């Protein structure tokens, strides 16, 4: 008799965005003529930079010739891409990262979900609340989170981030082992300063904890005192793993390419207290479970760092940040309290009259035919909030704001 992993059965309901899709499908069936504007899922709409397209066309031609054909890629990624990552994302910021500390992958979602496999099931996790659902759900599947009671997992430490505390999480009151930080934050679009992030690095060093630092949106940072990498903070290489992605930066959501950094200084421990280097442990895991990212895609990602690629990427990011500004300014003009939208492509709004997040989802869909994301789907502290993305077209973004002003009854 085949027995299932019953931890999977603990997951409550549908995955957040699957539930949104289900509700929208029902609405569309009942209202076939409705023109829906989708500002919910964080998927990009602008095409890939032409520099990436050209590079991938050339890479396809490489695959047609014996002398340039590529079979299985390297587990950690091709040198030509890793070299560009190290030089542009780290060395130019004065950060020393070894070439063998970078691991190319098919997405930050995969990496942030899979990294928990390196740690014991008795490791206590802490998450900012609200937070990207994959962090918690992947630990649920592993059997690390306890029971789900009143919207919270009993073995998870929640770090509330709300308007009341300026979206700055407090240090845990109990000792935790793994700390998930996403900055700029998804879903709130807010950030921490270098001084605020240093507090977390110091906590992790003191408590032998590890920070899992998701900086998938670092390319959207526009303010000076906001760190692009946790390794800008002294001591972070001894306590942190960093995750990066080409998805939102260069439109690779459907092309799939990302990377993570695991410094060799980073250690975890066996039950008898022996130190274990996580860099080689992750390499061994990847060699067992992952066959790498295709040559064609990695050549496309390499082109992001070319002169033309950088210019085109910045133009796309500027386009999305303009959309964010349109949403932010438009909602503020009708008295809605909003956050984010400056260093990130997300607008985090308080629901009118503190309405339940899912109730507001239904209201917005029915009255204005706009799809967003209920804040409570990101965690209990997201109740009474709602996320909108800036990844639509400028025309749809402007139309959505106009619908907020003219159709929504608040």
DSSP code per residue over 364-381: HHHHH-EE-EEGGGG-GG
Residue 80: per-residue pLDDT: 98
* Residue percentage of the chain with pLDDT more than 70: 100
10 Å Cβ neighbour count for 53? 14
Q: Domain holding 351: CATH number?
A: 3.90.1150.10
Query: Could you tell me which of 128, 171, 125, 71 has the C-alpha nearest to residue 381?
Result: 128
Confirm whether 260 is domain-assigned.
yes
Confirm whether 38 is domain-assigned.
yes
Shared-domain flag, residues 109 and 72 = yes
> Across residues 165-194, what is the average pLDDT?
96
Confirm whether 83 is domain-assigned.
yes
pLDDT digits (tens, 9 = 90+) for 135-177: 999 999 999 999 999 989 999 999 999 999 999 999 999 999 9
Q: How far apart are CA 181 and CA 112, in angstroms?
A: 11
Cβ atoms of residues 45 and 253 within 8 Å: no
Residue 247's region, left for phi above 0, alpha for psi from -120 to 50, else beta, is: alpha
> Across residues 349-378, what is the average pLDDT?
95
Residue 410: per-residue pLDDT: 74
Shared-domain flag, residues 143 and 238 = yes
Cβ atoms of residues 135 and 153 within 8 Å: no
Q: Is the pLDDT of residue 111 over 80?
A: yes
> Across residues 44-65, what is the average pLDDT?
97
Domain count, the chain: 2
Query: Could you tell me which of 255, 403, 389, 407 has the C-alpha nearest to residue 323?
Result: 389
Residue 63: per-residue pLDDT: 98
The structure tokens listed for 101 are 């500390």
Residues 150, 16, 352, 359, CA torsion sign: negative
Please return the burial class of 240, using the count of CB atoms within 10 Å of its CB with bins 0-12, 13-18 and 19+.
buried
What is the span of the domain harbouring residue 30? Answer: 13-42+308-406
Q: Domain holding 68: CATH number?
A: 3.40.640.10
pLDDT digits (tens, 9 = 90+) for 244-294: 999 999 999 999 999 999 999 999 999 999 999 999 999 999 999 999 999
Inter-CA distances, 290 with 76, 242, 358, Å:
9, 19, 37
Shared-domain flag, residues 272 and 193 = yes
Residue 12: per-residue pLDDT: 81
Residue 40: per-residue pLDDT: 87
Confirm whether 4 is domain-assigned.
no
Shared-domain flag, residues 314 and 237 = no
Among the candidates 282, 304, 326, a domain finishes at: 304
SS3 of 178, please?
Answer: strand
Contacts of 317 (CB under 8 A, 6+ apart): 219, 220, 249
Among the candidates 304, 321, 345, a domain finishes at: 304
Give the pLDDT band of residue 18 (cuts 50, 70, 90): confident
Which pTM value belongs to this model? 0.96
Shared-domain flag, residues 262 and 382 = no
Among the candidates 304, 338, 360, a domain finishes at: 304
Shared-domain flag, residues 271 and 156 = yes
Confirm whether 36 is domain-assigned.
yes
Confirm whether 268 is domain-assigned.
yes
Cβ atoms of residues 349 and 386 within 8 Å: yes
Confirm whether 8 is domain-assigned.
no
């Amino acid at each position: 008799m085949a027995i299932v992993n019953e931890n999977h059965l603990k997951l409550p309901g549908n995955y957040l965005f699957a539930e949104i899709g289900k509700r929208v499908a029902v609405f569309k069936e009942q209202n076939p003529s409705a023109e829906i504007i989708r500002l919910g899922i964080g998927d990009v709409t602008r095409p890939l930079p032409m520099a990436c397209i050209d590079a991938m066309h050339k890479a396809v031609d490489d695959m047609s010739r014996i002398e340039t054909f590529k079979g299985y890629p390297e587990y950690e990624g091709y040198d030509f891409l890793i070299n560009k990552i190290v030089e542009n994302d780290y060395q130019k910021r004065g950060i020393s990262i070894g070439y063998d500390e970078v691991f190319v992958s098919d997405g930050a979602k995969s990496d942030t979900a899979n990294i928990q496999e390196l740690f014991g099931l008795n490791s206590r996790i802490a998450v900012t609340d609200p937070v990207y659902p994959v962090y918690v759900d992947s630990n649920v599947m592993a059997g690390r989170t306890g029971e789900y009671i009143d919207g919270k997992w009993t073995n998870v430490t929640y770090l509330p981030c709300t308007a009341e505390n300026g979206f700055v999480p407090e240090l845990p009151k109990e000792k935790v082992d793994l700390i998930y930080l996403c900055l700029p934050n998804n879903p709130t679009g807010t950030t921490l300063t270098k001084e605020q992030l240093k507090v977390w690095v110091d906590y992790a060093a003191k408590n032998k904890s590890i920070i899992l630092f998701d900086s998938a949106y670092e390319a959207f940072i526009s303010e000076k005192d906001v760190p692009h990498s946790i390794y800008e903070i002294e001591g972070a290489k001894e306590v942190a793993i960093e995750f990066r992605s080409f998805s939102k930066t260069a439109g690779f959501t459907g092309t799939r390419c990302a990377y993570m950094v695991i410094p060799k200084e980073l250690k975890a421990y066996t039950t008898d207290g022996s130190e274990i280097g996580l860099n080689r442990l992750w390499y061994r895991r990847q060699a067992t479970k992952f066959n790498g990212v295709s040559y064609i895609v990695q050549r496309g990602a390499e082109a992001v760092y070319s002169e033309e690629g950088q210019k085109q990427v910045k133009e796309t990011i500027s386009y999305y940040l303009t959309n964010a500004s349109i949403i932010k300014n438009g909602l503020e003009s009708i008295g809605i309290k909003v956050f984010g939208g400056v260093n990130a492509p997300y607008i985090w709004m308080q629901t009118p009259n503190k309405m339940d997040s899912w109730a507001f989802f239904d209201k917005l869909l029915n009255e204005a035919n706009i799809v967003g994301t209920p804040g409570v789907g990101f965690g209990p502290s997201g109740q009474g909030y709602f996320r909108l993305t800036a990844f639509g077209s400028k025309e749809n973004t402007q139309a959505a704001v106009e619908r907020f002003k003219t159709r929504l009854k608040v």
